[in-house]
């Protein structure tokens, strides 16, 4: 089958009434969580993960994907109008976007953000369709040694976007790996690390750990912050039509932001956040008058908005083709696949072609829906900021608890949620980013499986990881990344980026 036949198959899946509904629902929820500061797609997908158990796999993943890239759209709205980035990747957009709003140019800023997002999302989706199958063909030639090294690279790369020190990020990875080992040994059938709880025979539920660490713990964190926030002053929108000069000035940044985001989204540890910061920095360096940035430069809106949407879309490539998540959201997407009984990896496209291509085509549909949702309804999204968090958080907790219980009808899972919620809150207080923990948890069993299979094939000789060129190259890249991250200059730069994010 050629690419057009594949896309036709995807269209047959994506354009069914039920999948159009779930695509719209995902885009709507994504916009909502992008608008509301402090919630974010990771926490939302974690809370919705239990519901995917009762939904068809393609519908579930189409909805979750819509939430992720929809949050990139929604985050720009409040960043521009209220100077409150609803999503972390929109923090850069707020720098020039809010200044434009103060100058009476909120409409053109919103329009350019939507145009850039739509263009970048459409192009990045095309790249997923073109390069996904190629990467799968390469991955099918991988031995267990290459897969082990690739997973190590992914885990080390995730440190690049982790708040706090490199040592703390490494600790989170090892903690996640430890949680992933709980359950039953794959080869011997012996129970291990289950502390005598028979309920842990099948391992820790990804729903429990995701809802606890990213859902309930985030509620605790928001309850602390909400009391210190004043009422937001919303800028007037006015006309949405940008001038010809603004369109010309935005064309280059949109194209460059799309290219940067598409590349960084594929890399382990990359995604929307890194893409938006990188594109803004590059545009500022390329500008004839860098002093305009920070004072209402339209390029400061066009570039990061294009980059974060492109990064969000292409981050699906390693998840769909290799079963390797590039960020916490993709780890949750893998969790949704596991709940549905689908083994992530290169066989997804061959064993479940309707799922693979249905998700890709649905991204084009979702991007078109998001333009309609964001521009005409901008007033509605801003008014949502007036909803007291005291009303929102009980509903969030109740929804999370009910959803978790319905997956296995097990009270023990609720106890796990409470435990992981407390753990997540403590980690935040200790300035430890929980995203590497989730990546370690999801990738831990895969890491162990490929390690043990490699050692069996080599009869216990660890040199198998260094004798194979691809495996050795991946491990070398991981070592270089780790060494670079501990350099004082790089460490200082990471701290500056995350201070700006917060």
Per-residue pLDDT of the chain (502 residues; tens, 9 = 90+): 577 888 888 899 999 999 999 999 988 888 887 777 656 677 778 777 777 777 888 998 999 888 888 887 777 877 787 776 666 667 788 888 888 888 888 888 888 888 888 888 889 888 888 888 887 877 777 888 988 988 888 788 777 656 667 788 888 889 999 998 888 887 777 888 888 788 888 888 888 888 888 778 877 877 776 554 444 555 566 666 778 888 888 888 999 989 988 888 777 655 666 778 788 888 888 888 887 888 888 888 888 888 888 888 888 888 888 887 877 788 888 888 888 888 887 888 888 888 889 999 998 898 888 887 777 777 777 677 667 767 777 877 887 787 777 777 788 888 888 999 999 889 888 888 787 888 888 888 888 888 999 999 888 888 999 988 888 998 998 888 888 777 765 556 555 554 444 4
**Nearest to 335, CA basis, from 64, 41, 27:** 64
Burial class (CB in 10 A: 0-12, 13-18, 19+), 191: middle
Q: What angle do CA 103, 300, 230 make, to 5 degrees?
A: 55
Determine contact, residues 158/169, Cβ cutoff 8 Å: yes
Domain span at 129: 3-501
CA 53/CA 338 separation, integer angstroms: 10
In angstroms, what CA-CA distances link 130 with 61, 185, 362, 428? 20, 38, 15, 39
Determine contact, residues 311/262, Cβ cutoff 8 Å: yes
Only one residue has tokens 């434009």, namely 100
CA 186/CA 382 separation, integer angstroms: 51
CA 272/CA 274 separation, integer angstroms: 6
Outline where 140-243 has alpha helix (H).
Answer: 144-157, 166-180, 206-210, 217-226
Determine contact, residues 480/213, Cβ cutoff 8 Å: no
The SS3 call for residue 192 is strand
Strands (DSSP E) contained in 53-106 are none
Question: Dihedral of the CA atoms 52, 53, 59, 65 (nearest 10)?
Answer: 30
Give pLDDT, residue 129. Answer: 86
Number of domains in the chain: 1
Q: What angle do CA 53, 41, 300 make, to 5 degrees?
A: 155
The SS3 call for residue 191 is strand
Tokens of 55: 């939904």
Give pLDDT, residue 268. Answer: 61
Only one residue has tokens 């995604």, namely 271
């Amino acid at each position: 089958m050629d690419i057009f036949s594949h896309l036709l198959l995807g269209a047959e899946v994506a354009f069914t009434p039920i999948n159009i509904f779930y695509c719209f629902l995902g885009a709507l929820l994504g916009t909502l969580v992008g608008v509301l500061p402090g919630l974010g797609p990771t926490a939302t997908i974690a809370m919705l993960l239990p519901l995917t158990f009762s939904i068809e796999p393609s519908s579930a993943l189409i909805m979750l994907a819509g939430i992720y890239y929809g949050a990139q759209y929604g985050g720009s709205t409040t960043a521009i109008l209220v100077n409150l980035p609803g999503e972390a990747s929109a923090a850069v957009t707020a720098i020039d976007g809010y200044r434009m709003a103060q100058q009476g140019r909120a409409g053109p800023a919103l329009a350019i953000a939507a145009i850039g997002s739509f263009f970048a999302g459409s192009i990045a989706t095309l790249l997923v369709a073109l390069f996904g199958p190629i990467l799968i063909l390469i991955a099918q030639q991988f031995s267990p040694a290459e897969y082990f090294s690739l997973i190590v690279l992914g885990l080390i790369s995730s440190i690049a976007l982790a708040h706090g020190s490199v040592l703390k990020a490494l600790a989170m990875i090892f903690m996640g790996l430890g949680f992933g080992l709980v359950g039953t040994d794959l080869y011997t059938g012996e129970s291990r690390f289950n502390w005598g709880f028979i309920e842990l025979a099948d391992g820790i539920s990804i729903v429990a750990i995701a809802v606890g660490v990213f859902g309930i713990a985030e509620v605790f964190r928001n309850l602390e912050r909400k009391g210190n926030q004043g009422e937001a002053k919303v800028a007037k929108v006015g006309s949405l039509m940008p001038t010809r000069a603004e369109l010309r000035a935005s064309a280059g940044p949109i194209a460059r932001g799309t290219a940067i985001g598409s590349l960084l989204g594929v890399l382990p540890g990359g995604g929307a956040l890194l893409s938006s910061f990188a594109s803004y920095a590059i545009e500022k360096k390329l500008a004839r008058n860098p002093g305009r940035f920070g004072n209402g430069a339209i390029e400061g809106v066009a570039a990061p908005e294009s980059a974060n949407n492109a990064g969000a879309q292409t981050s699906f490539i390693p998840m769909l083709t290799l079963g390797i998540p590039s960020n916490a959201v993709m780890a949750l997407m893998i969790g949704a696949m596991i709940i549905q009984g689908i083994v992530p990896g290169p066989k997804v496209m061959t064993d479940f072609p309707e799922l693979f291509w249905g998700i890709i085509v649905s991204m084009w549909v979702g991007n078109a829906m998001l333009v309609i949702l964001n521009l005409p309804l901008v007033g509605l999204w801003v008014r949502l900021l007036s909803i007291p968090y005291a009303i929102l958080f009980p509903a969030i907790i109740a929804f999370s608890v009910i959803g978790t219980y319905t997956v296995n009808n097990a009270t023990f899972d609720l106890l796990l949620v409470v435990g992981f919620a407390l753990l997540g809150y403590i980690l935040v207080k200790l300035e430890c980013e929980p995203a590497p923990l989730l990546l370690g948890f999801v990738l831990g069993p895969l890491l162990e499986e490929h390690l043990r299979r490699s050692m069996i094939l080599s009869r216990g000789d660890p040199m198998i990881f260094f004798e194979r060129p691809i495996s050795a190259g991946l491990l070398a890249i991981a070592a270089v990344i780790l060494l670079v991250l501990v350099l004082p200059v790089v460490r200082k730069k990471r701290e500056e980026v995350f201070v700006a994010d917060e």
